[in-house]
Chain A
């Protein structure tokens, strides 16, 4: 069972990384949401075999699952939820400012592009791919 979980983590991570490398911030948000899920699955996988609910008053039965990764996962989920909201707020602000939500090149990139290709190319890369 663990093997399938690991494969799932790998697949979700791959999709997440692909989305994060996009220039469109809304895709990046989706990418991070997926990466967050992948990490949580990873943490759970790290906890070993699945078992009964690790509740203090129901331990007579036997093999409780390791609760520590579950606690870590909960914390990670809360944090990634908050950060997703912050990214969305950034995307909205960028939309207000420029009408899109593209991540733009940094100053150095633009300067180099200008040195290299002259004015036209600098103009294009400056505003990101269109």
Chain B
């Protein structure tokens, strides 16, 4: 099983090179890309099953000890998110192959290879066991996203791409400074070692590290007030690409935030995160209501939904974090499918502006259904997955008697429903604005990919019970910390490696009192 953990990261990277090599031969390139992503999905599902049955898998690349080498950790939280993410990326790639036939899609010679690199970055961010590899994984993911966002070189894309690249680069710089701070104060960047050493630091130092990384990950996750780059840049990318970004990138930000802040015992930051989460929910959804373009409405919703995930984290209880995990798992496919539907509308009508669309329900009833189901799920209506996720969060918040945030979350949900209704009435309802058009080329394939995604969102509601159990287990692992730490550091105790060696950080800078 440990081979699979490494392969999920390396296979997409290697295939990306192959796919770049054969980029002009469309069939071969598509086979390589889709084959790799399908294999990645299969491997991550196998990992999910394995970890569910046998517990965490720890891989030490090159056999180095966790203090020095790169450790990959596939715990319950990691494999849950990994499996959903992989399946979702695969669907998007299939969709983009379909969309290409209608000749409005993004440049296929770029999309396939770059999606593979993005996949490797996503997988590495999820599986990594140390802070610096996380930085590298983020860069991998972001570089691929820079290229995907700007590769068509249109004026709007270059404009928003600049903002996107500059803000993300700045966040990455802050990330590296954070790594330096953490290393100076603890003498390690490994999560397991940090989980042991950070709680022993002085309170101010812990607050400093916690807030610093809240800003770093919060910028990637687009939380309030660091979200302003997102609604501007995402909608300018080709819509299929936006679907991947919307489904994955910000969620990875939240994922690492949950991992970092729970494992390192940053419970003190709870109230701060709760306030931010409430503001993120409301301001995101208000921004959505003010828009008149389907893609921009959905982009603001990404921000709003991040607030719900932060809510679960901010509670710092097992129920809260488990709720946040369910929410992440539910959001990845739902958000992606909604953007895929927007891409289909755009392919069909050449626009996603509400004012130019209308009455699609009579001409494309399946498309309307494909939008309505995930949209209702996003708003959190029963019996969809969004309801399960929001119920879990609200339940957890009530249990920790944080009533204010419950009210805010429910108001946010109502406003979400309102803006989904706005898209519905603007795009699908009412009299048709145009005569029926023939189906664009590639329509059936796009429809099937989006359809499978919709089914996936419904399936999450069906398996809500087992999913909740798994999330609860993941949350317990994260909050308790001990099992994670002992599993990662386990073999160190077994094999008597020299603990320091020439390399070990015996003197981590002047202030490193915790490590000694």
Contacts and interface: CB of A to CB of B under 8 A. Distances in A.
Interface string B165-184: 11001100100110111011
Give the interface SS of chain A, mostly helix, strand, loop or mixed: helix
A107 B165 contact: no
A66 B512 CA distance: 14
Contact of B165 (A43, A68, A87): A87
B270 interface: no
A48 B509 contact: yes
A34 B505 CA distance: 27
Nearest to B184: A46
Contacts of B139: 79, 83
B136 interface: yes
Contact of A39 (B143, B180, B502, B512): B180
A36 B68 CA distance: 23
Interface in B497-516: 502-503, 505-510, 512
Tell me what chain B mostly uses at the interface: helix, strand, loop, or mixed: helix
A45 interface: yes
Q: How large is the interface on A (under 10, 10 to 19, 20 to 34, 35 or more residues)?
A: 35 or more
How many interface residues does chain B have, given as a range?
Answer: 35 or more
A129 interface: no
Given A79-B136, A83-B169, A43 B510 contact: no
Interface in B93-136: 132, 135-136
B153 A106 contact: no
Given A67-B503, A98-B155, A32 B183 contact: no
Contacts, number: 113
B22 interface: no
B150 interface: yes
Interface string B434-461: 0000000000000000000000000000
Interface stretch (B156-164, B329-337, B366-374): B156-164
Contacts of B163: 103, 106
B231 interface: yes
Nearest to A56: B502
Given A93-B158, A98-B155, A68 B507 contact: no
Given A2-B510, A90-B165, A93-B158, A39 B177 contact: yes
A94 B162 contact: yes
A104 B503 contact: no
A36 B177 CA distance: 10
B419 to A, nearest CB: 16
B508 A66 contact: yes
A25 B158 CA distance: 12
Contacts of A11: none
A76 interface: yes
B146 A86 contact: yes
B505 A72 contact: no
Nearest to B150: A90
Interface of B: 68, 132, 135-136, 139, 143, 146-147, 150, 153, 155, 158-163, 165-166, 169-170, 173, 176-177, 179-181, 183-184, 189, 228, 231-232, 502-503, 505-510, 512
18 contacts: A2-B509, A32-B169, A32-B173, A35-B173, A39-B180, A43-B180, A45-B180, A45-B184, A47-B183, A48-B510, A56-B502, A59-B502, A72-B189, A76-B135, A76-B176, A90-B161, A103-B159, A103-B162
